[in-house]
A and B are shown apart, each in its own frame.
Chain A
Amino acid sequence: MKGGMSGQDLVITGLGALTNLATGRTRLSECMTAKPDQRQQKDYSLAGFKAMPLMRDKRHLKSISHSDSVGMAGVSVLLDDAKLNIGDYPAARIGVYVGSPSPCASDNDAYREAIIASHKGDGSYDLATFARLSHEARPVTLLTGLTNNVLCYTSLLMDARGPNSSYMASAVAGQLAVINAMQRLKRGKIDLAIAGGFAFPTDPIYLAMLTKHGLTQRGVPNKNYETVPFGLDPETIGMVLADGAAFVAIERREQARCRGASVLATLVGGAVTSDGLGPKHFHSDGRSILRLLHKVVEQAGISPADVGLVVSGAAGITDLDLAELNALQQFFAGVTEAPALAVPSKLWGNLLEAGGLMEIGFLNEIYQAGAVPASLSVAVPGSRFGAKIDQTKPYVLLLRTSAWGEYSCIVVKREDP
């Protein structure tokens, strides 16, 4: 990849960004550089989010969960940003890959009355009552819990009839979708991929489950978000979860040029690894993350010295962050000047399935500024990673780490100004 451009390069031509902070690349970029008191951020939840104004096709909101509406809105924002429409590509040549939250997050209020009425008060339930009342729910009730709703919606919006998939993989899901899409593009199976992920971890059940597993920051109310210790912070004691969506459009440079699309970045590599130790067990020396880093730079045809910026996964889980830091330090040990480090979870929390993609939309701004903005910057004691960017190093690593011991990384090259 190193060096010149080719019409066969895979390029990212749009970003569907949606967080509690803002919607869309431009607004998010403004938030990134704004002072904290200008952001008006109260928490990381999209519980009150209204998807309707953003939706390209509003009919599909009738039978989906609130969680899915976040994903669908993210896709709509992407299609607008990338200026994509039905007919831009043949239906069979469009692939859709989605990282979705676990279906337990479905906000299935349709059975609310049935559950309340059937509760006997001693922790047990009268199933006859539940059976009778639950059947008064709408026929489409079941569909609110389908994990692949966003995949289906995206396919309907774009008449996408090519290869597709929907993944549940927690914090690596969105990148996993992009990596698999990239492989299909490379093998000539598709010409356009819509890929990414969405997350809604502030759903009560989801939050309760992650808290039960000891993975969230407890005792630190989100209202104090400005002082919450985030990923890679020595004080961190768990994830600060955030709702959101991040989708990208990937196509070949030549085809993107033909339809007049703007290029945000070139996608040059992507891979996954795992510890193989089971959930919540990590190699704290970071060996699996180190393998991953070597794998992606080899795939991209670059060396560690070509990397100007690392976008950290920084989950906020102590052992996991330690593993990530160890891996990064070993990987860049032989490089004279370590790359800049960005910790986006500091700004928008841990976006789980939607994480590790959002930043692609702001690379040019960050590079042009010559430094990672304070909103994304963390001083890691004892590390060589700072905020200053060497603009002659155009490659960026976007790393993700998951509490289930799974890791992903994609490599992009910033587009020449």
Chain B
Amino acid sequence: MQTNSEKQSLRRRVVITGIGAVTPLGLSMQDTWNGLVEGISVAGPVRRFDARQFPVQMAYEVDGFKLAKDLVLMHEVPHMSDICAFAINATKEALEQAHIPIAGPVSDRTSVCFGVGLQCPQLSWYDQVHLQRKFDDPSLIPHIHLFPDQMSSILGRLMGAGGGITSVHTACASSGQAMGEAYDQILSGDVDLVLTGGTDSMISPFYHTGFNLLGALSKRNDSPKTASRPFDRDRDGFVFGEGACVFVFEELEHAKARGATILGEVCGYGVTESAYRITDLHPEGTGPVEAMQMALDDAGITAAEVGYINAHGTSTQLNDRIEALAIAKVFGEFAPRTYVSSTKSMTGHMIAAAGAIEFAFCVKALEHQVLPPSINLFNPDPDCRVNLTPPQISSHPMNYALSNSVGFGGSNTALIAGRGTV
């Protein structure tokens, strides 16, 4: 019987050689990280549509974005949804950092595994297609977007992916799962390079209405910048964010052989289902507990070795309390020494892209040996018994960081990042 550490030494290793991001904090990974270090919130009134009559009127929106049109075909541009455009620009940045030619030769050792958001429906679609039944004459539809999985096919072209293209959607756990599956693909030996991550935007009349009806959104319209306040006693829901975060995952020896810079390592992955309710976590946090434990086992490390947890931390009463309980259960005696924050206080909830950007923050935290803060933490909730990071970014030596994601539908993921000093 092999021990965990023996299994670790035998298996392939997965490293990160490129990261790209388009977020409310910035149009690149570096700008996003700089915004995080500053501890700023860019939430404000919704600009995408006139939300003044909606109960929820705010969001963290991407500002000043321009699609890298040279990367897409002319006929694709009119159909390009925001989520697709965000992903394309972030892919460009990730591939450039990894020194992988964009739209280069296709290899069957390369794949795409991406967390994609829901197609953001337009009012006109429903009107013309559903209500007026004009679907027999598609010329009447002025603006049909690409399917989310079509978008992944475009990313496959940019990546030169001949080894398969996968689009994952498990709500807020989408990109966490996509990255976990990308990691699994490399471990299994099927491929050496995977483009992974996630993209989403739910800033639309439909989703503002839908999530508000569920009571999931903050209504602190008079103070958007302080509305997202994970682990604060007075939190009242999440605030939509949007954007994309893209990684190049690569097999270690493959990366070394081509002289790639190693930014970090993917060390462990856990994925479970809560099998409880569509929108609620089990009161005992069983799903996230099992996912975090599975990730630790997979990484072959103990809870004591994790220096930082980027929590799912949505800023809803239920999520933050139960996630804190789950962390306490898994980390036990080490919980008081393991720092926890939720960066959704600065990015908003990027839904299908949340897991990806938060994992990127783990990688950057390890690189710089710092703890990303939770801002807007005015009155820490005594029912959330976790060791919250200091309010400003601060130094902390550590080798591993863990990122949690929890999705409607019950999927839970935990990913463990290791320092890039392999």
A and B interact: yes
Whether A128 and B53, one on each chain, are in contact in the complex, defined by CB atoms closer than 8 angstroms, is yes
Chain B residues with CB under 8 Å of A104's CB are 119, 121, 125, 147
| A91 and B286 alpha carbons, distance in the complex (Å) | 12
Whether A169 and B147, one on each chain, are in contact in the complex, defined by CB atoms closer than 8 angstroms, is no
Shortest CB distance A159–B (Å): 5
Interface size on B, residues (CB 8 A): 87
Give the contacts of B377-422 with A (CB-CB under 8 A).
407-411
Shortest CB distance B67–A (Å): 15
Give the contacts of A102-140 with B (CB-CB under 8 A).
102-104, 107-109, 111-112, 115-116, 118-119, 123, 125, 127-128, 130-132, 134-135, 137-140
Chain A residues with CB under 8 Å of B97's CB are none
Whether B138 and A146, one on each chain, are in contact in the complex, defined by CB atoms closer than 8 angstroms, is no
Interface size on A, residues (CB 8 A): 84
Q: Is B4 an interface residue (CB 8 A)?
A: no
Whether A274 and B156, one on each chain, are in contact in the complex, defined by CB atoms closer than 8 angstroms, is yes
Chain B residues with CB under 8 Å of A145's CB are 118, 210
Q: List 25 A-B contacts (CB under 8 A).
A: A92-B272, A92-B290, A102-B147, A123-B124, A131-B209, A135-B212, A146-B409, A148-B170, A149-B409, A152-B409, A161-B274, A162-B273, A168-B148, A168-B168, A204-B135, A208-B134, A211-B138, A273-B108, A273-B162, A274-B162, A276-B161, A278-B73, A404-B149, A404-B152, A404-B165
Give the nearest-CB partner of A278 in chain B: B157
Shortest CB distance A134–B (Å): 4
Q: Which of B53, B159, B213, B290 contacts A141 (CB 8 A)?
A: B213
Q: Is B55 an interface residue (CB 8 A)?
A: yes
Q: Which of A140, A156, A205 gathers most chain B CB within 10 Å?
A: A205
Give the contacts of B154-172 with A (CB-CB under 8 A).
154, 156-157, 159-171
Give the nearest-CB partner of B163 in chain A: A273
Q: Which of A107, A212, A271 gathers most chain B CB within 10 Å?
A: A212
Shortest CB distance A104–B (Å): 4
Interface residues of B (CB under 8 A from A): 49-55, 73, 76, 106, 108, 110-112, 116, 118-119, 121, 123-127, 129-131, 133-135, 138, 141-142, 144, 146-150, 152-154, 156-157, 159-171, 177, 181, 184, 188, 190, 205-207, 209-215, 271-276, 278-279, 286-287, 290, 407-411
Chain B residues with CB under 8 Å of A141's CB are 209-210, 213
Give the nearest-CB partner of B164 in chain A: A272
Whether A169 and B167, one on each chain, are in contact in the complex, defined by CB atoms closer than 8 angstroms, is yes
- A146 and B290 contact, Cβ closer than 8 Å, known pairs A112-B131, A115-B127, A163-B272: no
Interface contacts (Cβ under 8 Å), in number, total: 263
Interface residues of A (CB under 8 A from B): 63, 91-92, 96, 100, 102-104, 107-109, 111-112, 115-116, 118-119, 123, 125, 127-128, 130-132, 134-135, 137-143, 145-149, 151-152, 155-156, 158-170, 173, 176, 180, 183, 187, 204-205, 207-209, 211-212, 271-279, 281, 288, 291, 295, 404-406, 408
Whether B170 and A164, one on each chain, are in contact in the complex, defined by CB atoms closer than 8 angstroms, is yes
Give the nearest-CB partner of B134 in chain A: A208
Shortest CB distance B112–A (Å): 8
Give the nearest-CB partner of B209 in chain A: A134
Whether A167 and B167, one on each chain, are in contact in the complex, defined by CB atoms closer than 8 angstroms, is yes
- A162 and B116 contact, Cβ closer than 8 Å, known pairs A130-B123, A168-B169: no
Whether B210 and A204, one on each chain, are in contact in the complex, defined by CB atoms closer than 8 angstroms, is no
Contacts A102-B148, A111-B209, A166-B169 known; list 16 others, CB within 8 Å: A102-B149, A108-B121, A112-B126, A127-B49, A134-B205, A134-B206, A142-B209, A143-B214, A148-B169, A161-B272, A187-B188, A209-B144, A272-B165, A272-B166, A274-B111, A275-B162
Q: Which of A116, A139, A207 contacts B215 (CB 8 A)?
A: A139
Chain A residues with CB under 8 Å of B407's CB are 148
| A219 and B238 alpha carbons, distance in the complex (Å) | 48
Whether B188 and A183, one on each chain, are in contact in the complex, defined by CB atoms closer than 8 angstroms, is yes
Q: Which of A92, A116, A187, A211 contacts B131 (CB 8 A)?
A: A116
Chain A residues with CB under 8 Å of B148's CB are 102-103, 168
Whether B271 and A164, one on each chain, are in contact in the complex, defined by CB atoms closer than 8 angstroms, is yes
Chain B residues with CB under 8 Å of A173's CB are 149
Chain B residues with CB under 8 Å of A275's CB are 106, 162
Whether A115 and B271, one on each chain, are in contact in the complex, defined by CB atoms closer than 8 angstroms, is no
Whether A208 and B118, one on each chain, are in contact in the complex, defined by CB atoms closer than 8 angstroms, is no
Whether A208 and B141, one on each chain, are in contact in the complex, defined by CB atoms closer than 8 angstroms, is yes
Chain A residues with CB under 8 Å of B271's CB are 163-165
- A155 and B410 contact, Cβ closer than 8 Å, known pairs A115-B131, A276-B160: yes
Whether A142 and B205, one on each chain, are in contact in the complex, defined by CB atoms closer than 8 angstroms, is no
| A16 and B179 alpha carbons, distance in the complex (Å) | 30
Whether B141 and A170, one on each chain, are in contact in the complex, defined by CB atoms closer than 8 angstroms, is no
| A132 and B55 alpha carbons, distance in the complex (Å) | 9
Shortest CB distance B246–A (Å): 16
